[in-house]
Amino acid sequence: MVKREFWKYFDFWLLGAVLVLCVFGIAMIRSAIAGNTELAGLVSSQTKYVIMGLVVIIITALIDYHYFASLSRIMYIGTILFLIVIFVVGEVEFGSARRVEFGSISIQPSELAKIVMILVLADYFAKSQKKPKDLRWIITGFLMTMGVVVWILLQPNLSTSIVIMVIWFSMLWISGLPPKYLLVFAVVGIVAAAAAFPFLEPYQQERIINFFFQDPNARHGNTYNVEQAIITIGSGGWFGEGYGHSTQVQLRYLKVRHTDFIFSAIAAEFGFVGTVLVIALLLFVIYRCVRIARRAADSFGTYIAFGFSALLFFQMAVNIGVNLNVIPVTGLTLPFISYGGSSLLSLVLGIGLVESVAARQKSLE
């Protein structure tokens, strides 16, 4: 493909929206950690990751996404081996081993596993498109997914495991899952969730129990973060208290405000109007991904773009839901905005893949 054709179909609207979200994220992280000397380096760190992410998007977009189909098996095996290494020698933080340190660089393979599984499942569903949509077809995809998920569960990292399972089901659905299996999935899902509860880590069980049986008068203990998030969101009103002027944020009543609860910080500083604009921009990114999926030159490209849009939507919905206290607390970040190098790089890698699909849609037209 000549360079002129590549840039003709490259989605600049998608790239622009992602860059706006990333830059806004840097600004919010700066406000969230203001005055905290221990976290002072996070702004420069996130800035470096954003610059690196822009390079990743361009390089990945320049590579024909079809090459990843032939590499999917190698990437799948490599991801499992990497996760096994994490399980054996990973650095333990907050009761789980999720990352490996290489000098000053910290890598969280479970974040990269999301993108790898999108590619692996896209290749599987594209190649099995004409096969019968029966239980064998479903179970094969499920076992492929569990081959990675089981090692993430052992870290333990329940939230990322759920994300990958959602990606699998979303791609299964778009691949033509017969409606008759939906009831089976619902029953199996409920039974599996109930059976798995006793095997969860104590802090994971406490999060679920506190969500369903929380004390409305509690302002401390395990419910503290959620209660402060609700107070922080309410303090913003319609237009917010202004950038860097939220008492809840600046006086540090709101915890983990630069990662899991950055949405609450946005609400406090920019109000309801500000959060609506941020959500609208995230939905615009998802819309562009779905649009690219519909215009892809082949089913492999369609599954890549749709799988990534499902990842973005679910992660955004869960993060906002946690901040609003409508679902139990998880460790999922707000896409492109929350602090996190591994999370950001995995997301921009996904954007690069979607851009690669967009740039090669000519054959369909």
The predicted-structure confidence for 238-253, as pLDDT tens digits, reads as follows 988 988 888 888 888 7
Burial of 130 (0-12, 13-18, 19+ CB in 10 A): exposed
The domain tally of the chain equals 1
Q: What are 106-160's pLDDT values in tens digits?
A: 678 888 999 999 999 999 999 988 888 888 999 999 999 999 999 998 888 888 9
In what helix (H) or strand (E) does residue 170 lie, and over which residues does it extend? helix 158-174
Q: Residue 218's pLDDT is what?
A: 53
Report the chain's mean pLDDT, rounded to a whole number: 86
Average pLDDT value for residue range 98-112: 68
Q: Is residue 148 one of the residues assigned to a domain?
A: yes
| In contact, 171 and 121? CB cutoff 8 Å | yes
| In contact, 349 and 56? CB cutoff 8 Å | yes
The structure tokens 């999922």 sit at 332
Give CA separation, 167 vs 114, 116, 296, 308, in Å. Answer: 8, 11, 19, 8
Whole-angstrom Cα distance, residue 10 to residue 8?
6
Range from 20-29, 86-95, 236-245 that averages highest in pLDDT: 20-29
Q: Is residue 235 one of the residues assigned to a domain?
A: yes
Q: Is residue 184 one of the residues assigned to a domain?
A: yes
| In contact, 236 and 255? CB cutoff 8 Å | no
The structure tokens 């690219």 sit at 292
Q: Is residue 166 one of the residues assigned to a domain?
A: yes
Q: Is residue 241 one of the residues assigned to a domain?
A: yes
Whole-angstrom Cα distance, residue 356 to residue 358?
5
Domain range for 125 is 3-359
> pLDDT at residue 346 above 90?
yes
Q: Is residue 364 one of the residues assigned to a domain?
A: no
Whole-angstrom Cα distance, residue 278 to residue 264?
12
Q: Is residue 365 one of the residues assigned to a domain?
A: no
Q: Is residue 167 one of the residues assigned to a domain?
A: yes
Q: What is the pTM of this model?
A: 0.89
Whole-angstrom Cα distance, residue 263 to residue 236?
11
Average pLDDT value for residue range 342-355: 93
| In contact, 297 and 364? CB cutoff 8 Å | yes
The region that residue 94 occupies, defined by phi over 0 for left and psi between -120 and 50 for alpha, beta otherwise, is left
Q: Residue 53's pLDDT is what?
A: 93
**In terms of pLDDT, which residue wins out, 48 or 198?**
48
